[in-house]
A and B are shown apart, each in its own frame.
Chain A
Amino acid sequence: MNCKKCTIKAVIGLPRHNAAFCKACFNEFVLEQVTRAIKGERMFGRDDRILVAVSGGKDSLALWDILLKLGYKADALYVDLGIPGYSTKSREKAQRFADGVARTHEAKLLIHKVEEEEGAGIRELADLIHRPTCSTCGTIKRYQFNRAAVEQHYDVMATGHNLDDEASRLLGNVLHWQEEYLDKQGPSLPASVEGFAKKVKPLYRLSEREVAAYSVLNRIDYIVDECPMAKGSKMLLYKDVLNRLETESPGTKQAFYCGFLEKQARAPRQGSGQAQPAPASMAEKDRATLHPCATCSQPTTAEICSYCKMMARAKAGSTR
């Protein structure tokens, strides 16, 4: 198989683009796709300060690498979840990348330790409040990333979600008709209210395999092992199903997710059979329902935000 552009031996075939690339042309393809995502979705500009959420995995480190290569100002935040055997290893990977690559671009790595601030590792916290580890983890990560972004005056927060992540999440939401979540599935979520950082996903045009290939080709040392809590997750099942479809007809994932984005951009939501006024934009809806948390003043739809509620329950649980 030869490179479609320069005809030397290819290192990767991309059936959905009917292409194959050598290393140099593949890197160019990746940077092009990310640039297209950033510009097309108006994610950020040259002068914006970006905070990348890194986990030590392939997606987030590749994202940090790509943004720095493209000349953007991007620092990163790693949240240490305190999962024995996994957190230390993944943190080392993030640190190594920060010391080896990011430093030469004058970018820095911030670290948040859950055990220090929340008082226990993620698994103990989940036990205390009787909630699944991943949902506890999600609440803490969302909260801490947003807080770091807002308090340290970053203009936008970027995550390494790829096409497979977005397509599988969409599949899950559609299978259960969770229409209220569909609104938030875009690759660029505006900072709708004071205290909420803008959130973007610059890798949404690249498949998970493409992002992994970029990391391998560019010698990014990432953690290959999964977080042990991910085992048996629904997302893995959805991704597997989509990849089987993709194998039979290349381009399925992109058609599914990007088709959804186009539809969402074009069509006003249908109401109960009657003609409805144009739906309020998400920012307007957020402004109408969000206000500062009584405890920490980050925006929430309730009196007290879900993070503060969770921490209160954990405290009560641990003193019992």
Chain B
Amino acid sequence: MLGNKCEKCQAEFFPPVNICRACKSIDLKPLEMPGAGKILSYTLQKESVAGFEEQEPMVFGLVELSNGVRLVAQIVDFPYESLKIGSKVKAVFRRVKADGPSGQIYYGYKFGPPRSPRETSATEE
């Protein structure tokens, strides 16, 4: 999760911004986001978006990272019933989707429990 940080006022951003939202500076440096965060909101998505039908239903969460940056991500390895506002989560690297005919496989971050047994695995294969 590569975001960026304002060199002038130290504000941190993810997704990365071109212009600092706090002080308007364009002097920003890439910054890896912390992997730890907590759930601010969550949902069980029952109607899939095209390309994700095989993963139905998917769980998504609004995550606040330990540096205060917020993002939306898929939640994995977390029983939906035990998910709560305030639950601690940690970023994991996973396969997001595979495109049909071209066979292109896309990877990205998802969030799981803090001590997920699979947190270090790079793929789901």
Same complex for A and B? Answer: no
Give the B-binding residues of A (Cβ under 8 A): none
Binding site for A on B (CB under 8 A): none
